[in-house]
């Protein structure tokens, strides 16, 4: 009996040693299975058609908010991806500069790997839920999707490692243009019921809430693009009905107020939020200079779109899948600022991305600094 008891105790001891040895090995393997490269920074993207990499391909909307048909995508991809350009977008080039792969749209079927980030942007989206409601993924919904990704990262990886990815990541926002364009394109009741200041306060308020929610999830490094002078886009030049095709100055009043408020907001958040770092790209000044002086930047056309119809090719018909079916397309998009009535060519996106990366036309930090700093 004594011999049997001793043997039993020895087996128990051996089992315990084996169990803890195996468990330690298993934990080591799990940690090592998702190693974070040094200085790895994921890239999360929120916004509208300037950054949408194809999310609107997968929602119930109209072709006014989709670009998944030819000739969109003709320059780089050689097929339409859902990007509102002849090729790549600012966010695609930023990912390249940061040595990341193309950041895919969140709704892309079969995509569930978020270590490098994901793109939540939706063409037509605004900071306000009322903006093109029911046809786009509003900013509030984009943040909801981000929260789902946060949960995935912290469950799939160890919580600490998922949190590390979120804290090192860069979060790029380009939102607000549609909140103001919708006032003029849809005869919105907001135009008469709110002053410019009141309406901008609503937009900035929703943006502030979204930024704080990302910060609460661990986000610390933020990139922003202010609003471009879309009143001078071919589409709004035509919509304004001016005989000389001048810019729609009413839109400019909203954009200017918004941009001033955005500067103040980011300065305040830097003081209020722990570890908050930001880069603000002056999209407005950079684009305006190219529209007004295209030759200076190696371009030929700053007012007319490459793809569309009518005056300035400002009728939003590129691809013949929208309300107006007739359209024409230029031979060389690289010579143009605008690809269609409201959106930019790949060559412009690349130039803007270089400025954002290097810090020219930026206030505060460059995106390069945000990606490379801890």
Domains of the chain (ranges; CATH) run 43-283+356-372 (3.40.50)
Cα dihedral value 137, 61, 128, 192, nearest 10: 170
Three-point CA angle 347, 353, 356, nearest 5°: 150
**Considering just the CA atoms, what is the radius of gyration of the chain in Å?**
24
Three-point CA angle 96, 125, 259, nearest 5°: 80
**Annotated catalytic residue, options 340, 347, 349, 366:** 340
* Side-chain half-sphere CA neighbours of 150 within 13 A: 17
**pLDDT score, position 165:** 95
Q: Number of helices and strands (H, E) in the chain?
A: 12, 10
Structure tokens at 189: 């009741």
268: annotated active-site residue: no
**pLDDT score, position 39:** 67
**pLDDT score, position 49:** 98
Burial of 337 (0-12, 13-18, 19+ CB in 10 A): buried
**pLDDT score, position 40:** 82
340: annotated active-site residue: yes
179 touches 200 (CB < 8 A):
no
**Annotated catalytic residue, options 343, 347, 349, 366:** 343
Task: Please give the model's pTM, rounded to 2 decimal places.
Answer: 0.89
Residues 6+ apart with CB under 8 A from 317: 308, 309, 310, 323, 324, 325, 326, 327
231 touches 249 (CB < 8 A):
yes
**pLDDT score, position 157:** 78
Residues 6+ apart with CB under 8 A from 2: none
**Annotated catalytic residue, options 48, 49, 52, 233:** 49
Q: Of 175, 148, 161, give the one whose Cα is nearest residue 42.
A: 161
* Residues of the chain with confidence (pLDDT) below 50: 1-34
pLDDT, one tens digit per residue, over 163-210 is 999 999 999 999 999 999 999 888 777 767 889 999 999 999 999 999
């Amino acid at each position: 009996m004594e011999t049997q008891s001793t043997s039993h105790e020895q087996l128990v001891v051996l089992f315990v040693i084996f169990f803890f040895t195996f468990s330690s090995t298993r934990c080591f393997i799990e940690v090592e299975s998702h190693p974070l490269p040094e200085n790895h920074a994921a890239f999360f993207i929120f916004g509208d058609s300037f950054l949408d990499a194809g999310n609107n391909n997968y929602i119930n909307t109209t072709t006014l908010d989709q670009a998944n048909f030819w000739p969109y995508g003709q320059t780089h991809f050689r097929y339409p991806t859902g990007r509102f350009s002849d090729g790549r977008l600012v966010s695609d080039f930023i990912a390249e500069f940061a040595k990341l792969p193309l950041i895919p749209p969140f709704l892309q079927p079969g995509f569930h790997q978020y270590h490098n980030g994901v793109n939540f942007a939706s063409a037509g989206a605004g900071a306000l839920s009322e903006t093109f409601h029911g046809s786009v993924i509003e900013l509030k919904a984009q943040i909801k999707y981000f929260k789902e990704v946060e949960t995935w990262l912290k469950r799939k990886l160890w919580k600490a490692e998922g949190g590390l990815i979120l804290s090192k990541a860069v979060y790029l926002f380009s939102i607000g243009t549609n909140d103001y364009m919708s006032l003029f394109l849809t005869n919105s009741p907001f135009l008469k019921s709110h002053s410019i200041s009141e309406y901008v306060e609503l937009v900035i308020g929703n943006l502030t809430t979204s930024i704080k929610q990302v910060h609460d999830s661990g986000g610390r490094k933020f990139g922003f693009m202010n609003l471009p002078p879309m009143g001078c886009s071919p589409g709004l030049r035509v919509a304004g009905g001016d005989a000389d095709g001048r810019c729609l100055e009413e839109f400019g009043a909203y954009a200017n107020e918004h941009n001033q408020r955005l500067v103040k907001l980011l300065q305040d958040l830097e003081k209020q939020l722990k570890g908050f770092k930001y880069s603000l790209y002056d999209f407005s000044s950079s684009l305006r200079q190219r529209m007004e002086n295209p030759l200076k930047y190696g371009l030929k056309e700053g007012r007319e779109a490459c793809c569309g119809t009518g005056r300035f090719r400002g009728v939003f018909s590129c691809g013949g899948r929208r309300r107006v079916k007739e359209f024409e397309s230029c031979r060389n998009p690289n010579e143009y600022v605008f690809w269609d009535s409201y959106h930019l060519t790949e060559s412009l996106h690349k130039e803007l991305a270089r400025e954002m990366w290097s810090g020219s036309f930026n206030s505060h930090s460059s995106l390069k600094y945000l990606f490379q700093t801890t």
